[in-house]
Chain A
Amino acid sequence: MSAPKLYGIMAEFDSPEHLIEAVRRVREEGYQKIEAYTPFPVEGLAAALGYTHTGIPTLVLLGGIAGAIFGYGLQYWTMVIDYPLNIGGRPLHSWPAFIPSTFETTVLFAALTAVLGMLFMNGLPTPYHPVFNVPRFALASNDRFFLCVQARDPRFEPEATKNFLQTLKPREVSEVLP
């Protein structure tokens, strides 16, 4: 077997509880480059994998602030500096009238940042990914829960890792070709 060519080794579980337990055991064993795949967001799984901050809230806040500055700045510049127009004798810088559009651009920029930021951080769109080489992985979007130990993990050894995953009582263990 051409061992170094593997992407990793994958175990398949029946229930989210089973998967969380397996993640805990795998991490205790010292593996770091692991990833779990589930058909829906599982509560407690992120904590078990040691994920903490996503960084998305800060990004969205910055996006919102940028949107507010852009919206208000656009109105100030066009209405006061570039194209001053007397509307019913109101001051050129009639700020209350600029608030609705400013609010809308704030929300628009923040929402776009949330979505595009999330997709970008997740590396989506991903045209190709090795995990899809496992035929049973199609069930990851249905009713099965997967755990993959990647070959780039320093502790990864094809046979040993495979045997270890077998002890977690998975339904199946498969090799993931790159």
Chain B
Amino acid sequence: MSSEAPLIGPGHTYGTVTDKISAIVLTRKTSLRFLLGLGLAFSLVMLLFVSVAALFIWGIGIWGVNIPVAWGFAIVNFVWWIGIGHAGTLISAILLLLRQEWRTSINRFAEAMTLFAVACAGLFPILHLGRPQYFYWLVPYPNTMNVWPQFRSPLVWDFFAISTYATVSLLFWYIGLIPDLATLRDRAKRPFAKIVYGIFALGWRGSALHWHRYQMAYLLLAGLATPLVVSVHTIVSFDFAVAQVPGWHVTIFPPYFVAGAIFSGFAMVLTLAIPLRKIYGLEDFITARHLDNMAKVLLGTGLIVAYGYFMEHFMGWYSGNPYEMFVTHNRETGPYAITFWLLILCNVLVPQLLWLRSIRTSVAALFVISLIVNVGMWMERFVIVITSLHRDFLPSSWDMYYPTFWDIATYAGTIGLFLTLFLLFIRLLPVISIFEMRELVSEHENSAETKA
């Protein structure tokens, strides 16, 4: 451990950690740059409002979906967003259980990212319903129609998985925030801020007995979130794998979807962390070692994903099933071949650069690679959804799918929604867990003393 770079810049005490992180929220002036970014993001949100209104008025005929390609951008975007959402819980829960100290300075905003990504993801299946006003029919409630949801359907499993995931992520994030909200309450100068933070801090006073129970509850929550995060993307993959469509009906889907989710989630964490640490001067907390570690996770999960692609193709050939063989061949050479080769380039070839230490320590290179992986993972979902559907069993029912303006506008709109929520989060809540950073300072002091 001692040979590795420290997880926190030198000379930090409990007080400086508190000052530095809470100052971003409490004393820093809202800069013009922030307002500009928020304005840009919010104009995309308005585009989302318009797109959704258009959809409600004219129906999903305004999208490019047809039969056979009944799942267009909506499902591609749904899987993409929910995948991004996985890194937050992974960082918070799995890395906590594995005692990876470096998670401390990135878990808070990764959890926020999870929540906002899940919010964006959750929109799509509802919008895709055709009659979104009836989405609550998925909820098992006694009703005058005397019917119940069909629990043997992966789509109902999906509803349970996503709603549980959203709830547990929110609980995890909020529980982590309570002690920091108390810090903000105690440090806020303006009465209004003091009252609002005070309400959400629930009267937290840092009592040792409270901490004792808090830590146990947090640990258990991490233990519960770990299998949950695996189950969510597994169930998302069941939406595909339980169907008969060639290219979907494969057993590798659950593990390969989970690895893909972590891969894309870490890419998004890097995409957000790199500008964040630069703009707010958090290099002492999100150090080069953090970026290096995240790059290694990206490389590792990228290799699992590459293995998944390889296995898909191998099984297509090995199955001897003509439809499976055709799907693989059609992906490589069919009308959507460009998306397949882009996917190979973005997700398999480019991440191999991360073997080099010089790339992993170059902030600019990491930022570019993370963006490329985000694009690649979107391509992956496009390939899975669209190329499998557009040419299935009967050539007479083959058709092409082309996204319309509204498809793209809705997608861009959710990116705006994600960025808007994230920018507001940066402005209103501590982006790094303050109390866990104090803990880290305390541990570093202790280890320094034992060495001396």
Contact = CB atoms under 8 A, between A and B. Distances in A.
A119 B206 contact: no
Interface in B219-236: 220-221, 224-225, 227-228, 231, 235
Contacts of B435: 39-41
Nearest to B215: A41
Contacts of A137: 205
A66 to B, nearest CB: 14
B203 A129 contact: yes
- Between A16, A38, A41, the greatest number of chain B beta carbons within 10 A of the residue's beta carbon is seen for A41
A40 B205 contact: no
A35 B207 CA distance: 7
Interface stretch (B163-171, B327-335, B350-358): B163-171
A117 to B, nearest CB: 7
Classify the interface of chain A: helix, strand, loop or mixed. Answer: helix
B427 interface: no
Interface string B369-382: 00000000000000
A57 B216 contact: yes
Interface in A26-83: 35-42, 45-46, 49, 51, 54, 56-57, 60, 64, 74-75, 78-79, 82-83
B179 A74 contact: no
B212 interface: yes
A90 interface: yes
Contact of A105 (B13, B15, B160, B187): B160
Interface string A121-162: 110111111011000011111110000000000000000000
Interface string A88-120: 001000100110110111011011101101110
B205 A140 contact: yes
Given A42-B208, A78-B148, A100 B161 contact: yes
A124 B202 contact: yes
A79 B152 contact: yes
4 smallest beta-carbon distances between A and B, as pairs = A126-B203, A143-B14, A118-B217, A125-B202
